[in-house]
Amino acid sequence: MPEEADPPDEEAVASEEPESDAPSVADQSEPDAAVEGPTAVGEPPVVAPVTRDDLRGGGPGPSTDKIGFAVLVAAAILMAGFVVGRVSAPDGVVDTTTTTIPVVVFPSGDQDRSGYWQFAGITPAVIDTFDRADADELGGADTGEEWATASGAWAIVDDQAASPDARARPGLVVIGGGRASRLTEVSLMVVEPGAGIVFRYRDPQNYWSMTADPEVGSWIVSRVAAGQVSVIAEVAGATADGTAIGVAQRGPELQVLVDGQERARITDPTLSGLARSGLISPAGSTGAARWDRFYVGDIAASG
């Protein structure tokens, strides 16, 4: 007797409908189907749907591609079973260890940050905790470099740096050491308007600074060139006592940091390449500002 024809399947019926430019849901859900011929740039590929004949082995015989695909699927299933078996094996068969990576918290205030910045690839160059006897000058840093007073008066008071007298112009004290590609950072344990750090320092007429404006909750980045002061950026950030501020300099680029987080990025080549940094106190200072944990770190050259 002649064999009975198979009832028409849904795929065959669907194939008689007019084709749409957009691929159907079935087309999109068949990642293993073959692409039929080249398509124009920008057009979605025409994907041949998997039919029931493919699943039951109808037609003249399976193609080499289908055999290869089936072998890959079988291998993947075997590998998955091996992995599951290893993971779910009874105790004593496989030793499984789990490592939890601790959250790295920025150590603001009077805390050592050298390890934190080494984690970020910055090598300590100058460190000063100011933990020494009270004196009328800052003296030498923990790493041996000497502080140089450029203007005003500077002193060690209760293991912190201080600038105790009022004056007509800002007080400046700087220190050498490290590379021009550097991070300069300090904790302002007592914040006073106009107090902060200096960087890219050449002399009292040429330098950059980052100073506090606690009334509006921001930090002012200024450039002093030939004695002319220009405000370059006003950066929002915490101005509470104990806040750590810093500036990373890489050639013409500056990154402004508040408590270890970048708050602004500035590109300006003025005075770039200079490798002295330090502290600044405001003109007419009340002497209230206190600095601690001064840090300079060398930034590795990129590339």
Which tokens sit at 150? 């450029």
pLDDT at residue number 92: 53
DSSP codes joined into one string, 229-254 = EEEEEEEE---STTEEEEEEEETTEE
Which tokens sit at 39? 């398509």
Q: Among residues 69, 87, 105, which one ends one of the domains?
A: 87
Which tokens sit at 166? 């009022």
> Is 127 in contact with 141 (CB distance < 8 Å)?
yes
- Quick check: helix, strand or coil at residue 15? helix
**Residues 210, 76: one domain?**
no
Which residue, chain included where needed, has tokens 């590109």?
267
What are the angstrom distances between the C-alpha of 295 and each of 9, 36, 129, 171, 184? Answer: 76, 64, 9, 19, 6
The H or E element that residue 280 is part of is strand 277-281
What is the domain extent for residue 14?
10-87
Residue 102 lies in a domain: no
Low-confidence spans in the chain with pLDDT less than 70: 1-95, 101, 302-303
Residue 219 lies in a domain: yes
pLDDT at residue number 61: 45
Residue 93 lies in a domain: no
pLDDT at residue number 99: 76
Residue 286 lies in a domain: yes
Residue 3 lies in a domain: no
pLDDT at residue number 95: 67
212-239: pLDDT as tens digits: 999 999 999 999 999 999 999 999 999 9
Distance of alpha carbon 109 from alpha carbon 104, whole angstroms: 16
Distance of alpha carbon 13 from alpha carbon 9, whole angstroms: 7
pLDDT at residue number 102: 72
pLDDT at residue number 93: 53
Residue 94 lies in a domain: no
pLDDT at residue number 26: 40
**Residues 28, 141: one domain?**
no
Residue 77 lies in a domain: yes
Residue of 272, 273, 243 lying closest to 260 (CA atoms): 243
**Residues 73, 147: one domain?**
no
Q: Among residues 52, 87, 122, which one ends one of the domains?
A: 87
**Residues 69, 125: one domain?**
no
pLDDT at residue number 302: 66
Q: Among residues 40, 72, 87, which one ends one of the domains?
A: 87
Q: The domain spanning residue 256 has which CATH number?
A: 2.60.120.560
Which residue, chain included where needed, has tokens 């041949």?
48
pLDDT at residue number 86: 37
Per the structure, how many domains does the chain have?
A: 2
